[in-house]
């Protein structure tokens, strides 16, 4: 459904500010009289707080105030849960332990705030840490997931009597019966390692309480401005309209910036009201690693049952999921794992069990992928194991088991993060894989290229995998579209933006409907003074959910244009044409009214407006999908390994994906490429490591390796297929996480294939040359 602007690869409208250093980010906000906050954080992962004495800090010049949990009195309280778990899953258990803003009595992860210092500068605030005497009694740290489940070596929340955060069992069909009928059953233990979102900009929070106006303004790097405003207002006993949350330009989100009810947004507004001074907190990189949420870290015991021809009869997966010290985000991540484990394959029987545990580690909430890479990794590992066992080609076994288009929409029988049973709405999964095989010359690679390279002693291997991406989930988003007296269009929506190009794609949607240039559409996102209903930017839902709300509003405005114009041009609406910022009578272009003029006429200062007519060329639209739209795709990756040093080069990376209607192909490719680089990072560079004391060993970029330009393949080859989603009028599915989801699965398969002679079976999602070396050593000893 490509139009004049919609569907076109137009470069972004927001770029020139970002390119010239004139875009305003959180740390660019300066307010006269502003003071700076810093959090003193615990070095221990698990400890009882005996005493914190900050009297000396108060004497240091430049220090304004210091607070610990005690100082907040009744204002200190946990939570609320940001995402309560679905109640629809029968028999599921969930122990709610929402985040506490600052540690009281007990520390539960290394990096948890113990005190907040307010000072004239960040430098002085950090100096004051030296003056604070902290007396902590260390406790054994809960680190290992399976031990944690056995309540060993300690309890993270003593009052709970267990480290179990959740237990969820879901089943479709009957796995045990399927297993009994199977020719082969393959069981594996599979690990998915932990990664950081590591947006280039750390988090930040600026708050200004205007005592005279009785109004609070908050600038935050949040992906969820409206929920943030609502919780701040509720906590302080203010009306929502006394709190304005503004998101400046944000330097990347990728998940964790959705979190609210943390030390910054709970404590700093309260302190700002007490001190009557604006406060700024800018997280540094060390804090970001220690105390911004991160994700993955699961241990799966998975099993697949098949016929001897490689037809899947059933899958079983019991997995431990690390939620960290608290579980403010409910069960979103492991539920996504459940729904994505089997998604695009025909799996008649599926048993899945979440064992979510508390540990003395940083809290886990979604990071680009959000449980999906884990599910896909487990399933693809099982498929690889099955292919090997049955002596089948990895592509062949997948083609055999992928769902056909005529099997969709398919109710999966598994309740997901959006509280409803998952439905695969549309897609052509086989076509994705077939197109991928063409692009990567699969047959030729297997039959000619690879044997020839092997004959030369080269170790080149391919991984080929499939994935789905559940996107565009509810509850809803909204938007207001207004034509101004200047003839230009303003759009306001409640989500915030972190580089996805919303200013441009939303403008494209509106421009197409209202016959104006995209440059003449001004989009405001994430400012609660402009629009204050909505949930936020997560689960690749910006374009699909907010975009559809904007579309709905734009369609209403379009109708209003025709109705108003019909009155003034004195012809029926069918005889009116809209374009180039004006309306005119068909065939009589000289009889026209500009949209600006029409906007004035729709909002008269005298005279009569007919009953039932709302003034202005303005409308508000909402959209809430019944369930998410599912994108899908397939990835092939070719790697070459130096078998002496285990150094690895990615020679080719090919991805075919289907995200429904494309609003802007240029931006879409950018999203895919960015996701792929994160996937490559997750597979081969990035790994968060906690030691047995719960200390994070990778709290800097020296140790947490980010993919660099030289780590990327020469080109990310992208193939598009489009099956439009029937769920929304534009047919959009999200795409933000596509690249990140399948990459680790493709990567390990490619490594195994490159080092074919060792018959490796790699059960974990993050590798390094040293790790590969270890697997090869083990295999050589066996062989």
User: CB of 199: closest distance to ligand FES in angstroms?
Assistant: 7
User: CB of 260: closest distance to another protein in angstroms?
Assistant: 20
- Tokens read off for 757: 């002679």
Residue (5 or 680) nearer to ligand FES, CB: 680
Q: Contact 383/444 with Cβ under 8 angstroms?
A: no
Q: Contact 386/751 with Cβ under 8 angstroms?
A: no
Residue (408 or 706) nearer to ligand FES, CB: 706
User: CB of 693: closest distance to another protein in angstroms?
Assistant: 15
Residue 443 contacts which entry, another protein, ligand FES, none (Cβ below 5-8 A, type-dependent)? none
User: CB of 337: closest distance to ligand FES in angstroms?
Assistant: 27
User: CB of 109: closest distance to ligand FES in angstroms?
Assistant: 25
> Alpha-carbon distance 682 to 195, whole Å?
6
Residue count (the chain): 783
Comparing C-alpha atoms, which of 35, 26, 34, 49 is closest to residue 113? Answer: 49
- Residues ≥6 apart with Cβ < 8 Å to 561: 483, 514, 578, 583, 595, 598, 617
Residue (640 or 711) nearer to another protein, CB: 711
- Residues ≥6 apart with Cβ < 8 Å to 576: 562, 565, 566, 569, 583, 584, 585, 586
User: CB of 204: closest distance to ligand FES in angstroms?
Assistant: 14
User: CB of 308: closest distance to another protein in angstroms?
Assistant: 40
Residue 711 contacts which entry, another protein, ligand FES, none (Cβ below 5-8 A, type-dependent)? another protein
User: CB of 35: closest distance to ligand FES in angstroms?
Assistant: 23
User: CB of 670: closest distance to ligand FES in angstroms?
Assistant: 9
- The HSE-up count of residue 472 (CA atoms within 13 Å, CB side) is 32
User: CB of 726: closest distance to another protein in angstroms?
Assistant: 30
Q: Site for ligand FES (CB under 6 A): how many residues?
A: 3
Residue (205 or 270) nearer to another protein, CB: 205
What's the chain's Rg over C-alpha atoms?
28
User: CB of 20: closest distance to another protein in angstroms?
Assistant: 5
50: number of Cβ within 10 Å: 10
Residue 756 contacts which entry, ligand FES, another protein, none (Cβ below 5-8 A, type-dependent)? none
Residue (163 or 223) nearer to another protein, CB: 223
Residue (252 or 487) nearer to ligand FES, CB: 252
Which DSSP letter does residue 370 get?
T
Residue (85 or 366) nearer to another protein, CB: 366
User: CB of 208: closest distance to another protein in angstroms?
Assistant: 17
Find the farthest-apart pair of alpha carbons in the chain and give their distance in angstroms, rounded: 92
Residue linked to tokens 């509003």: 553
> Alpha-carbon distance 322 to 594, whole Å?
59
Residue linked to tokens 């007990």: 106
User: CB of 581: closest distance to another protein in angstroms?
Assistant: 22
Residue 644 contacts which entry, ligand FES, another protein, none (Cβ below 5-8 A, type-dependent)? another protein
Which DSSP letter does residue 542 get?
I
Collapsing DSSP to helix, strand or coil, 123 comes out as helix
User: CB of 285: closest distance to ligand FES in angstroms?
Assistant: 8
Residue (416 or 501) nearer to ligand FES, CB: 501
Residue linked to tokens 């990035």: 686
Write b or e for each residue in 475-510: b if 16 or more Cβ atoms lie within 10 A of its Cβ, otherwise e.
ebbbbbbbbbeebbbbbbbbbbbbbbbbbbbbbbbb
Among residues 474, 499, 660, 713, which is the contact residue for ligand FES, using CB under 6 A? 499
Residue (239 or 701) nearer to another protein, CB: 701
Comparing C-alpha atoms, which of 742, 772, 748 is closest to residue 676? Answer: 742
Alpha carbon 74 to chain centroid distance? 33
Residue (98 or 253) nearer to another protein, CB: 253
Residue (286 or 400) nearer to another protein, CB: 286
Residue 240 contacts which entry, ligand FES, another protein, none (Cβ below 5-8 A, type-dependent)? none
Based on the shown chain and the rule CB under 6 A, indicate whether residue 670 belongs to the binding site for ligand FES. Answer: no
Question: Cα dist. 27→123, 158, 646 in Å?
Answer: 15, 39, 42
Query: Residue of minimal CB distance from ligand FES?
Result: 200
Residue 667 contacts which entry, ligand FES, another protein, none (Cβ below 5-8 A, type-dependent)? another protein
Residue (71 or 201) nearer to ligand FES, CB: 201
Residue (36 or 316) nearer to another protein, CB: 36
User: CB of 56: closest distance to another protein in angstroms?
Assistant: 16
DSSP states of 467-510: EEEEE--SS-EEEEEEE-TTS-EEEEES---SSS-HHHHHHHHH
Write b or e for each residue in 605-625: b if 16 or more Cβ atoms lie within 10 A of its Cβ, otherwise e.
eeeeeeeeeeeebbbbbebeb
763: number of Cβ within 10 Å: 17
Comparing C-alpha atoms, which of 643, 13, 35 is closest to residue 280? Answer: 35
Residue 566 contacts which entry, ligand FES, another protein, none (Cβ below 5-8 A, type-dependent)? none
Residue (252 or 665) nearer to ligand FES, CB: 252
Residue 353 contacts which entry, ligand FES, another protein, none (Cβ below 5-8 A, type-dependent)? none
Residue 12 contacts which entry, another protein, ligand FES, none (Cβ below 5-8 A, type-dependent)? another protein
- The 8 Å CB, 24+ separation contacts for 20-24 are 23/249, 24/248, 24/249
Site residues (CB under 6 A) for ligand FES, limited to 70-109: none
Residue 250 contacts which entry, another protein, ligand FES, none (Cβ below 5-8 A, type-dependent)? another protein
Residue (20 or 605) nearer to ligand FES, CB: 20
Site residues (CB under 6 A) for ligand FES, limited to 249-268: 252
Residue 133 contacts which entry, ligand FES, another protein, none (Cβ below 5-8 A, type-dependent)? none
Residue span 199-238 as binding mask against ligand FES, x where in contact by CB under 6 A, dash where not:
-x--------------------------------------
Residues 327, 328, 334, 337, CA torsion sign: negative
* 275 burial level (CB within 10 Å; 0-12, 13-18, 19+): middle
Which residues contact ligand FES (rule: CB under 6 A)?
200, 252, 499
């Amino acid at each position: 459904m490509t139009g004049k602007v919609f569907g076109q690869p137009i470069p972004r409208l927001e770029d020139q500010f970002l390119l010239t250093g004139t875009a305003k980010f959180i740390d660019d906000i300066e307010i006269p009289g502003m003071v700076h906050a810093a959090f003193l954080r615990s070095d221990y992962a698990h400890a009882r707080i005996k005493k914190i004495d900050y009297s000396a800090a108060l004497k240091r010049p430049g220090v304004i105030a210091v607070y610990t949990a005690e100082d907040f009195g009744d204002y200190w309280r946990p939570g609320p849960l940001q995402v309560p778990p679905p109640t629809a899953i029968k028999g599921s258990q969930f122990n709610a332990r929402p985040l506490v803003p600052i540690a009281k009595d007990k520390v539960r992860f290394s990096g948890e705030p113990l005190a907040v210092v307010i000072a004239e500068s960040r430098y002085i605030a950090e100096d004051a840490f030296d003056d604070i005497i902290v007396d902590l009694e260390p406790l054994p740290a809960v680190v290992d997931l399976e031990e944690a489940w056995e309540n060993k070596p300690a309890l993270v929340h003593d009052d709970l009597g267990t480290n179990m955060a959740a237990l969820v069992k879901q089943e479709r069909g009957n796995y045990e019966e399927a297993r009994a009928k199977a020719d082969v059953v393959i069981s594996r233990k599979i690990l998915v390692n932990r990664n950081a979102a590591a947006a280039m900009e750390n988090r930040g929070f600026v708050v200004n309480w205007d005592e005279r106006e009785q109004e609070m303004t908050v600038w935050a790097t949040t992906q969820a401005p409206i929920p943030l405003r609502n919780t701040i207002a509720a906590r302080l006993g203010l009306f929502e309209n006394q709190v304005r949350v503004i998101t400046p330009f944000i330097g990347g989100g990728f998940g964790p910036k959705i979190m609210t009810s943390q030390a910054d947004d709970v404590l700093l507004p309260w302190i700002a009201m007490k001190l009557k001074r604006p406060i700024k907190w800018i997280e540094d990189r060390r804090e970001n690693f220690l105390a911004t949420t991160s994700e993955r870290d699961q241990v799966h015991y998975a099993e697949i049952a098949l016929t001897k021809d490689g037809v899947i009869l059933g899958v079983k997966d019991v997995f431990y999921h690390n939620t960290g010290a608290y579980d403010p985000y409910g069960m979103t991540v492991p539920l996504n794992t459940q729904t994505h484990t089997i998604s695009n394959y025909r799996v008649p029987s599926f048993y899945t069990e979440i064992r979510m545990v508390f540990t003395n580690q940083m809290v886990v909430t979604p990071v680009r992928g959000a449980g999906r890479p884990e599910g896909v990794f487990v399933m693809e590992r099982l498929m690889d194991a099955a292919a090997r066992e049955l002596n089948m080609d990895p592509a062949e076994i997948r083609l055999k088991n992928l769902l056909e288009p005529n099997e969709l929409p398919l109710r999966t029988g598994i309740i997901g993060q959006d509280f409803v049973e998952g439905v695969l709405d549309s897609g052509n999964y086989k076509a994705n894989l077939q197109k991928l095989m063409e692009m990567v010359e699969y047959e030729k690679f297997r039959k000619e290229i690879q044997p020839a390279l092997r004959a030369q002693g080269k170790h080149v291997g391919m991984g080929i995998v499939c994935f789905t991406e559940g996107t565009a989930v509810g509850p809803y988003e909204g938007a207001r579209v207004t034509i101004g007296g200047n003839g230009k269009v303003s759009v306001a929506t409640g989500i915030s933006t972190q580089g996805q190009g919303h200013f441009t794609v939303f403008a494209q949607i509106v421009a197409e409907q209202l016959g104006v240039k995209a440059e003449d559409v001004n989009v405001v996102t994430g400012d609660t003074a402009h629009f204050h209903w909505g949930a936020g930017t997560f689960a690749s839902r910006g374009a699909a959910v907010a975009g559809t709300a904007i579309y709905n509003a734009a369609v209403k405005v379009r109708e209003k244009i025709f109705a108003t114009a019909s009155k003034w041009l004195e012809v029926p609406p069918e005889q009116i044409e809209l374009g180039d910022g004006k309306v005119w009578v068909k065939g009589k272009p000289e009889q026209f009214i500009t949209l600006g003029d029409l906007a004035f006429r729709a909002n008269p200062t005298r005279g009569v407006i007919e009953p039932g007519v709302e003034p202005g060329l303005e409308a508000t639209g909402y959209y809430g999908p019944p369930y998410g739209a599912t994108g899908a795709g397939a990835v092939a990756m070719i790697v070459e390994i130096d078998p002496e040093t285990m150094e690895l080069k990615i020679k080719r990376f090919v991805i075919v994906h289907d995200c429904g209607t494309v609003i802007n192909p240029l931006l879409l490719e950018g999203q895919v490429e960015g996701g792929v680089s994160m996937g490559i990072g997750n597979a081969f560079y990035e790994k968060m490591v906690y030691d047995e004391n719960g200390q994070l060993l990778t709290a800097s970029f020296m140790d947490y390796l980010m993919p660099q330009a030289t780590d990327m393949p020469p080109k990310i080859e992208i193939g598009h297929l489009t099956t439009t989603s029937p769920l929304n009028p534009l047919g959009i599915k999200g795409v933000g996480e596509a690249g990140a989801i399948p990459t680790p699965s493709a990567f390990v398969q490619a490594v195994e294939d490159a080092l074919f002679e060792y018959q490796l079976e790699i059960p974990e999602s993050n590798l390094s040359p040293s790790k590969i070396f270890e697997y090869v050593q083990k295999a050589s000893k066996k062989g």
